[in-house]
Amino acid sequence: MSNNKIALAIHGGAGTILRSLMTPELEREYRGGLEAALQLGWDILENGGSALDCVEQTVCSLEDFPLFNAGRGSVFTHKGKNEMDASIMDGKLLRAGSIAFVKNVKNPIKLARLVMERTPHVFLAAAGADEFAREMSVEMAEDDYFYTEHRYQQLLRAREEGVVQLDHDGLALATHNKPIGTVGAVACDINGNVAAATSTGGMTNKKFGRVGDTPLIGAGTYADNGTCAVSCTGHGEFFILGVTAYDVAARMKYKGQSIVDSARETIDELGRIGGDGGLIAVDAMGTVTLPFNSEGMYRGYITEASDINIATYGTESPV
Amino acid sequence: MSNNKIALAIHGGAGTILRSLMTPELEREYRGGLEAALQLGWDILENGGSALDCVEQTVCSLEDFPLFNAGRGSVFTHKGKNEMDASIMDGKLLRAGSIAFVKNVKNPIKLARLVMERTPHVFLAAAGADEFAREMSVEMAEDDYFYTEHRYQQLLRAREEGVVQLDHDGLALATHNKPIGTVGAVACDINGNVAAATSTGGMTNKKFGRVGDTPLIGAGTYADNGTCAVSCTGHGEFFILGVTAYDVAARMKYKGQSIVDSARETIDELGRIGGDGGLIAVDAMGTVTLPFNSEGMYRGYITEASDINIATYGTESPV
Domains of chain B: 7-313 (3.60.20.30)
**Contact at CB, B237 and A121, closer than 8 angstroms:** yes
Mean pLDDT of chain B: 87
Indicate the residue of A212, A216, A254 with minimum beta-carbon distance to B216: A216
pLDDT, residue B206, reads: 66
Tell me how close the Cα of A181 comes to any Cα of chain B, in angstroms: 16
B251 part of contact set with chain A, CB < 8 Å: yes
**Contact at CB, A208 and B251, closer than 8 angstroms:** no
**Contact at CB, A217 and B219, closer than 8 angstroms:** yes
Give CA–CA dist B82/B201, Å, rounded: 7
Interface test with B, best of A176, A216, A227, A258 (most B CBs within 10 A): A216
Strand pairing class (B123-125; B95-102): parallel
By percentage, how much of chain B surpasses pLDDT 90?
67
List the catalytic residues of B: 182
A88 part of contact set with chain B, CB < 8 Å: no
DSSP state string for chain B: --SS--EEEEEEEEE---GGG--HHHHHHHHHHHHHHHHHHHHHHHTT--HHHHHHHHHHHHHHSTTSSSGGGPPP-TTS---EEEEEEETTTTEEEEEEEE-SBS-HHHHHHHHHHHSS-SEEEHHHHHHHHHHTT--B--HHHH--HHHHHHHHHHHHHT--B--S--S-GGGTT-----EEEEEE-TTS-EEEEEEE---BT--TTEE-STT-BTTTEEE-TTSEEEEEEE-HHHHHHTTHHHHHHHHHHHH---HHHHHHHHHHHHHHTT--EEEEEEETT--EE--B-SSEEEEEEEETTEEEEEEEETTS---
pLDDT at B158 over 50: yes
> Is the pLDDT higher at A200 or at B144?
A200
pLDDT in tens, B8-42: 999 999 877 777 777 888 889 889 999 999 999 99
Give CA–CA dist B61/B107, Å, rounded: 9
pLDDT in tens, B172-196: 333 333 446 799 999 999 999 999 9
Q: What is the ipTM of this complex?
A: 0.91
pTM of the shown model: 0.91
User: What is the mean pLDDT, run by run of 10 residues, along chain A of 319 residues?
Assistant: 81 80 83 96 98 98 90 73 91 98 94 97 94 95 79 65 47 39 95 97 74 97 98 96 98 98 98 96 97 93 92 67
**Contact at CB, B128 and A207, closer than 8 angstroms:** yes
B81 part of contact set with chain A, CB < 8 Å: no
pLDDT, residue A117, reads: 98
**Contact at CB, A208 and B123, closer than 8 angstroms:** no
What single letter denotes the amino acid at residue B60? Answer: C
Distance of CA A271 to the CA centre of its chain: 19
Give the mean model confidence (pLDDT) for residues B262-282.
97
**Contact at CB, B101 and A125, closer than 8 angstroms:** yes
Report the run of H or E that residue A55 belongs to, with start and end.
helix A51-64
**Contact at CB, A207 and B241, closer than 8 angstroms:** no
pLDDT in tens, B90-125: 999 999 999 999 999 999 999 999 999 999 999 999
pLDDT, residue B66, reads: 86
Give the mean model confidence (pLDDT) for residues B236-241.
96
Tell me how close the Cα of A25 comes to any Cα of chain B, in angstroms: 35
> Is the pLDDT higher at A23 or at B236?
B236
Tell me how close the Cα of A197 comes to any Cα of chain B, in angstroms: 15
pLDDT, residue B116, reads: 98
Residue of B nearest to A134 (CA): B208
A240 part of contact set with chain B, CB < 8 Å: yes
A129 part of contact set with chain B, CB < 8 Å: yes
A182 is an active site residue: yes
Tell me how close the Cα of B27 comes to any Cα of chain A, in angstroms: 32
